[in-house]
Structure formats: structure tokens, C-alpha cells
């Protein structure tokens, strides 16, 4: 990947702190009760899980799940294929490099003054083609399609990605049902938003970094979608900004677990009952690191706004509605060119108190 840019070293706003808090604070939730035959006939079997998820979404915006029902051989297959892909020569990977016209595919974050992330990525859409707005302009009614770009090698890469995505979709939608229940809503409350989903998946490769104390794998950010299902390897590096005091908490890898986090869309739907929180990824000086982020996102025509069931005279809506597709397209555009305005955030839609 090269050397750390001196301009980056001198930028205090992007340098990570030199101390990390190792903590077991991120809730670990056992989903076995909802995957057992008893849960079908005994609703009480999942009540405890629902309470734990609600508490985690409210207190942390993050939690881990075990006994989730995902076929782990699908995870092993995609991990193996991804390692083969990222080990290819750079010129081979760049044959499917993403750009403003083809927004999905491979990307390597070069060390420049404007790039802070020390990683390589491969982006894909889960539902292909993904129908999206042609531009973030509110007046532009045209639509376009996003198509995946697949490498020639390894030959099993595409199949491994697609099969894995199908497995994680089951888990993600199941979790959205549990989140709905935790908010006192019907389990299928969110289902209609994902009929023509724009869900994406990102495979991340973090090469060993010569100066890990001066760089980040991914800088502090929040996810825009509904929720994210993350698989991280045993190297770890994910950190969450704790809501109570703003300290960065390392999420220790748990074997065969998935890390789940609340996205901005869910924060708005819940009218701030649940919060999307900042997180980042650290790099390692000696070991490679892999992670796979499955980002559950609604259809492009979805109007994101607080749910009517969660607003009242005492607790009015905290956000004005916004179109998800326009929001997402604006975010995607910033990957390829610097805009003259701040990258769009949900606080731009917050109503005054």
C-alpha cells in the first residue's frame, strides 16, 4: 500500500488516539431461542431476546449475536475466495475498479492527502440490478441501474458472494422483525421497505500498515441504512464510540459471531429511540485483516420518516421525511468526487426542537 502520507501524520483530526479501551461492554445476544422449534408455538421464548435487542439498540447502537442460524460454511467459502481475490496483482484487481459510472467493484485507497483509509474493498449490490435514482438532484426523476462487476479470478468468487448474501439476508430480516417487536410494533412492520431493496455488501481487506498508530482502516462514520451485519476475522480492529462518555471501545472478535449495528434509517424510523453511533476500524502492523459488511437498505423510493406509531403530541416527529434513494446516491457520489457541500447526514433533516 505504500508509506503514510506526511500530511496525514500532521492532521490531528484524523489521527487515532494512542490508547484503546478493551471492553466486553458490547452486548452479546444468544439467538438460539428464536431458532428453536419451541419458539414457533411459544411466543414467550423470544421475549427475552427482544428485550435484550431493544436494550442494546438503545444503550449502544451495537451488539453481537451468536447461535444465529447462518450456515458457517458459506462464511468460510466467501472468506477463502476473498483472500484469493485480494492476493491478486493490483493491475488484475483494477480491471474491475469502481468509478463514477460503474459505482460497484474494486477500490484501493491510495495514500493521498484526501484519502485517510488504509484498505482495499470490493462492493456489490445484493439485488441485481439495483434500481436507483440517476442523480441526487431532487428534481431529477430519472432512474438508473447499478450492476455488479465480477473478477475472472478466482472463478468461485461470484458464487461464494451470492450464496453468502442469501444467508445473511435471512438473518438481517429476522433481526429487523425482532427490532420491530422491541419497539412495540408488529414483527412485519419493516418488511415492505425491503421489497426492492438497495442492500449492499462490502468485502474489506486491511493490509499490514507500517505505522498503525498514525492511520485508520476506516475513519469514524455512521451507516446510512437500516442495520449492518458484520463478520470480522480473529484479528479484529472494529471500535465503537461509547454513547455514555465518547470513548472508543474495541469490539473483541467472538468466534462465529456477527456484529450488528443500528443504521441512520432505523434511527429516524424509531424517532431517536434507537441511535446510530460512530464506529471505525483500526489497522495492524503485522497481520492482514478481513471483514464483510452486509448493509440492509430499503428500496430507493422509500420515504424515510419517523413511524406514526412512535410519535405523539408529547413526542413529536424529530425528522422531516427524505427520499432514501436520493440520500444514498448523494453519499455514493462522494466516493468519486469532492462536493462543495457537506456530505449529507440525517441531522440535515432534523426538525428544530
Query: What is the CATH classification number for the domain harbouring 344?
Result: 2.60.120.330
Q: Which residue has the cell 496483482?
A: 89
Tens digit of each residue's pLDDT, the chain (353 residues)? 544 444 433 343 443 443 333 345 799 999 999 887 665 656 777 899 999 999 999 999 999 999 999 999 999 999 999 999 999 999 999 999 998 888 999 998 754 443 467 899 999 999 999 999 888 888 888 999 999 999 999 999 999 999 999 999 999 999 999 999 999 999 999 999 999 999 999 999 999 887 776 667 788 899 999 999 999 999 989 999 999 999 999 999 999 999 999 999 999 999 999 999 999 998 888 889 999 999 999 999 999 999 999 999 999 999 999 999 999 998 887 665 555 556 789 999 999 76
Alpha helices in the chain (DSSP H): 6-9, 32-35, 38-41, 47-59, 72-86, 90-93, 157-182, 264-269, 324-333
Q: How much is the pLDDT for 334?
A: 67
Decide if 17 is inside a domain. yes
Q: What domain count does the chain have?
A: 1
Residue 67 to residues 51, 147, 231, 254, 300, Cα–Cα distance (Å): 17, 33, 14, 12, 32
Decide if 47 is inside a domain. yes
Q: How much is the pLDDT for 331?
A: 85
Decide if 288 is inside a domain. yes
Tell me the residue range of the domain where 302 lies.
6-349
Contacts 24+ apart (CB under 8 A), 39-46: 46/178, 46/181
Q: How much is the pLDDT for 209?
A: 82
Smallest Cα–Cα separation from 1: which of 124, 99, 105, 86?
86
Smallest Cα–Cα separation from 175: which of 54, 292, 84?
54
Decide if 140 is inside a domain. yes
Decide if 200 is inside a domain. yes
Q: How much is the pLDDT for 279?
A: 95
Decide if 1 is inside a domain. no
DSSP type of residue 230: E
Cβ–Cβ < 8 Å for 229, 294: yes
Decide if 258 is inside a domain. yes
Smallest Cα–Cα separation from 263: which of 249, 252, 251, 274?
274
Cβ–Cβ < 8 Å for 240, 277: yes
Q: How much is the pLDDT for 51?
A: 95
DSSP string covering 50-92, please?
Answer: HHHHHHHHHHTSEEEEES----HHHHHHHHHHHHHHHTS-HHH
Three-state secondary-structure class, residue 33: helix
Q: How much is the pLDDT for 286?
A: 87
Residues 6+ apart with CB under 8 A from 231: 75, 258, 259, 291, 292
Which triple of cell numbers denotes residue 92? 488484475
Decide if 97 is inside a domain. yes
What pTM value is reported for the model?
0.89
Amino acid at each position: 500500500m505504500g508509506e503514510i502520507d506526511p500530511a496525514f501524520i500532521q492532521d490531528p483530526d484524523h489521527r487515532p488516539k494512542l490508547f484503546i479501551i478493551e471492553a466486553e461492554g458490547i452486548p452479546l445476544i444468544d439467538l438460539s431461542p428464536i431458532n428453536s422449534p419451541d419458539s414457533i408455538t411459544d411466543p414467550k421464548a423470544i421475549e427475552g431476546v427482544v428485550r435484550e435487542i431493544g436494550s442494546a439498540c438503545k444503550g449502544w447502537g451495537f451488539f453481537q449475536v451468536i447461535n444465529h442460524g447462518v450456515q458457517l460454511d458459506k462464511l468460510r467459502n466467501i472468506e477463502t475466495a476473498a483472500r484469493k481475490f485480494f492476493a491478486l496483482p493490483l493491475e488484475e484487481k483494477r480491471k474491475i475498479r469502481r468509478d463514477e459510472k460503474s459505482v460497484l467493484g474494486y477500490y484501493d485507497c491510495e495514500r493521498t492527502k484526501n484519502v485517510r483509509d488504509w484498505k482495499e474493498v470490493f462492493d456489490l449490490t445484493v439485488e441485481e440490478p439495483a434500481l436507483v435514482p440517476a442523480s441526487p438532484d431532487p428534481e431529477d426523476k430519472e432512474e438508473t441501474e447499478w450492476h455488479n462487476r465480477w473478477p475472472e479470478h478466482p472463478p468461485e468468487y461470484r458464487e461464494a458472494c451470492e450464496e453468502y448474501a442469501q444467508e445473511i439476508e435471512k438473518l438481517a430480516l429476522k433481526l429487523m422483525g425482532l427490532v420491530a417487536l422491541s419497539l412495540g410494533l408488529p414483527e412485519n412492520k419493516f418488511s415492505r421497505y425491503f421489497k426492492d431493496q438497495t442492500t449492499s455488501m462490502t468485502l474489506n481487506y486491511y493490509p499490514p500498515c507500517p505505522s498503525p498508530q498514525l492511520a485508520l482502516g476506516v475513519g469514524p462514520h455512521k451507516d446510512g441504512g437500516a442495520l449492518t451485519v458484520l463478520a470480522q476475522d480473529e484479528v479484529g480492529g472494529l471500535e465503537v464510540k461509547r454513547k455514555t462518555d465518547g470513548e472508543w471501545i474495541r469490539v473483541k472478535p467472538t468466534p462465529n459471531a456477527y456484529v450488528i449495528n443500528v443504521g441512520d434509517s432505523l434511527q429516524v424510523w424509531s424517532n431517536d429511540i434507537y441511535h446510530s453511533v460512530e464506529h471505525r476500524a483500526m489497522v495492524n502492523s503485522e497481520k492482514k485483516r478481513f471483514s464483510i459488511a452486509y448493509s440492509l437498505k430499503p428500496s430507493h423510493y422509500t420515504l424515510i420518516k419517523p413511524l406514526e406509531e412512535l410519535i405523539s403530541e408529547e413526542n413529536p416527529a424529530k425528522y422531516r421525511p427524505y427520499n432514501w434513494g436520493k440520500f444514498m446516491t448523494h453519499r455514493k457520489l462522494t466516493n468519486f468526487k469532492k462536493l462543495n457541500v457537506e456530505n449529507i447526514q440525517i441531522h440535515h433533516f432534523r426538525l428544530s426542537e
